[in-house]
Structures are given as C-alpha cells and as structure tokens.
Structure 1
Amino acid sequence: MREISTAALPPAPGAEQYLALDFADSAYVLPGGHFIDLLGTPESTNRWLAERGLAPADAGVQEMCATQLRVLREHIRALFAARVARQPVLPAALSAVNDALSRTPTAALLRWDETNGPYRAALCPPNEILDRALATLAADTADLLTGAEAGFLTTCASVPCNRYLIRHGRRHWCSTRCGDRARAARAYARAKSKVD
C-alpha cells in the first residue's frame, strides 16, 4: 500500500549533496508501520522531480514513469545496502543503474542564439524527461558509491527507519526525530532492566 505525505522528514545528512541519497530515501517507514512514498503517485512523483529540477512542474508524469523511477530507486537502495554491508552487489541492481546511465547523453550541447551567440544547454524534449531524470539519478549514485564519502554511507540507526545517510562524526540517525526515538528507547530499556 502506497501512502503519501506532504509532511516529509527533513533530508538525511548527505542528501543535500547527493541527489541519489535523497532519491533512495524517498520511501521510508515511520513508527507504527506507516509507510511514506514520495513517489507513490504520478502527481507526487512529478512534484518530487520538479522540486529537484529534474522535470518541469507540468511534465504530466504518468504511472508508467513513476513505476520506472520506483524500480530504479529499489535498485539503488540495493546497491547502497550492499555497500553498507560490504556484501556483493546484485547484478540486476548494477545493470539497472548502468542502463539508466546510458539512456541519455550527459553533455550540454552547443547552441546558438542569434542575439547572444553561442551557449551550452542540455535541452530535453518532453519524451526524454524521464530518461534524463533516470540518467541523472544513476550518475549521482555512481558518484556517491565511488567517491570519497562512500565509506561514510550508512543506514539510520533508529528502528524501524530505513533511510540512508552520510555519517560524519557521531551522528547515526537520519533526523532529530529518529535520534530522539532511539535515545528514548535506550532509556526505556535501561529503566525496564532496573525494574526486572
């Protein structure tokens, strides 16, 4: 069951630098089993893409496109999970990201304006919006997984949260909310052990 919330959690540490991390965290679990999917409907997917400059606000994302993005998200999450656990990667996840990487050229083309002269722009016809978004997200995933911060990629330490973050320092949680919940659970466990 897909649930949408406009009151999303704040970005996890690292999500502002890595769009792929923000993308992987666009579906998450809250206490009580509440599942939030910011790509759960075509409308919410269009909004998410537009807010990140990956599609125009009026792109008219259809369910087929939203589904393709959700599938790529799960493959990226599988790659992140393999990296965090230092386990072998699933070939299907690697293949999906490489396929998305090769969908569109990433170089801005040389254009010419009769008034202002030459300029570079990555113009995207409407039928290529999804391909460009998938390629951008896949490229950012590759940059994160092969970059200097790859070793700091981790999962939120607060159960049941399933978000990823880039950990720097002692922070092990994706948000203050998760940190407070984890500290409260530890305090409860200590108090309960003293009673038993």
Structure 2
Amino acid sequence: MKASGTVRTVELLDLAPPPAPGAVEHPALDLADSAVALPGGQRLDLLGTPEDATRWLVERGLAPDDAALQEVCAGRLRALRGHVRALIAARIDGHPASTEALDAVNEALSRVPTAALLRWDSSTGFTRRSTHPTDQIVDHALGTLAADAADLLSGPDAARLAACDSPPCIRYLLRSGRRQWCSVRCGDRARAARAYARRTGAPRA
C-alpha cells in the first residue's frame, strides 16, 4: 500500500461495500460513491488508476469491453466525481451550488450528442445509434454521468439525497424512510457506536 493510504489492489476491492440505495438507478450517485473511506483511515478509490477507472466504466456499460483509459481520462472521471459530490453535498446541506462544479457538469453535458444518429447498413437497414470513437469514449461516459447528475439533482429524488450517517463513511444514498446508512455494515457500525455511547456517556464519533 502506498503512503497515501489508498488501497488499489484488486484483491482489496472486496472491501468495497455494495452499492448504496439509489446508486444502481443513478450512475451519478454511484460515481460519487466510488471513493470509499474504510475503517482504520484507509481509502479505497475505485477510479484510482486508469485500469480501475476502465473497469468501473465497463462494468456499468459506459465503455466497451476493449476500452483502455489513459491517466488523463481517468483524471477527468475523478474530477467529475469531485464536482458531482460537491453538488450533492450542497443539495443536502442547503448551500448554494458551486459555480465551478455547475460549469464542469454542464461542460460534460455539452460535449456529447443529445440524440442517436440515423445509420444505414446493407445487412440491417436503418438503425439509430450513437458512435463511440475511441477518443470519444470518455466524453460519452462523462456526458451520461453528467446528465444523470442533472436529473438526480433537479428531479423528485433530490429530496431523498442524504449522507451516510456512519463515520468514517463518506458515501451518499437515497434515503428510504428513516434509514440513513448506505449499507448493512455502516448501519451495524452506527448502532454499535450509539450503544457504546449510551453505556459510557461518551459522545458518538
């Protein structure tokens, strides 16, 4: 492990919790949650290397199986994650949205076509599909994620956005009822911390 405490080995990806509530329906929420704080001060970055970022996009159908991102593209994906996290945090806390984050999401939205184009193939006839040249794979992925972020933040699910209430977790979720934990693991940890605080009178971490 590097001095930064970032965990990058494939074997340790098993430490990642399952998707938080809402992350399957909203890839932008899944993106925001791709940085994971682990007990003991370790961090797991699912986009930490070009290989990690490629795997993340491929597994979510946002890049073809033969994609191979370079560091500059992985960095763009991590940068969008930071901006999406900033906008989600602003929505939850009721703070004004960062102009920088808004501009970044809108810039990602504006770089991709808004509609699939009409194509002709002698064997299949007319079809509509978007092209994904190798140099535009990341643009399309970022555009898709940005569009979902815009829908999430401006739609009915925005009121359900919440931060996981189990330190040191830094993930977000869509709240259902009173639950405000992103996983069973975090829920168990929060309940244990509260029980300990009741027994000892110590403040909850």
Q: TM-score when scaled to structure 1?
A: 0.96
CA separation in 2, counterparts of 1:193 and 1:13? Answer: 32
Gaps of 5+ in 1: none
Shift of 1:181: 0.1
What is the letter of the counterpart of residue 31 of structure 2? F
| Match of residue 81 from structure 2 | 73
CA separation in 2, counterparts of 1:116 and 1:70? Answer: 38
What is the letter of the counterpart of residue 55 of structure 2? R
Deviations 1:45-96 (A, max 9, x none): 1000000111122211111111111011000000000000010011100000
Shift of 1:112: 1.3
RMSD (CA atoms): 1.1
- 1:98-109 counterparts in 2 under 5 A? 98-109=106-117
Aligned residues: 194
SS in 1 for 2:168: coil
Shift of 1:6: 1.8
Shift of 1:168: 1.2
CA separation in 2, counterparts of 1:79 and 1:12? Answer: 18
CA separation in 2, counterparts of 1:192 and 1:72? Answer: 42
Say which of 46, 50, 64 aligns to 1:38: 46
Shift of 1:116: 2.3
- 1:131-146 counterparts in 2 under 5 A? 131-146=139-154
Shift of 1:157: 0.4
CA separation in 1, counterparts of 2:121 and 2:78? Answer: 38
CA separation in 1, counterparts of 2:55 and 2:119? Answer: 29
CA separation in 1, counterparts of 2:201 and 2:175? Answer: 30
Does residue 1:83 correspond to 2:91, yes or no?
Answer: yes
Using the TM superposition, name which of 171-180 and 117-126 deviates more.
117-126
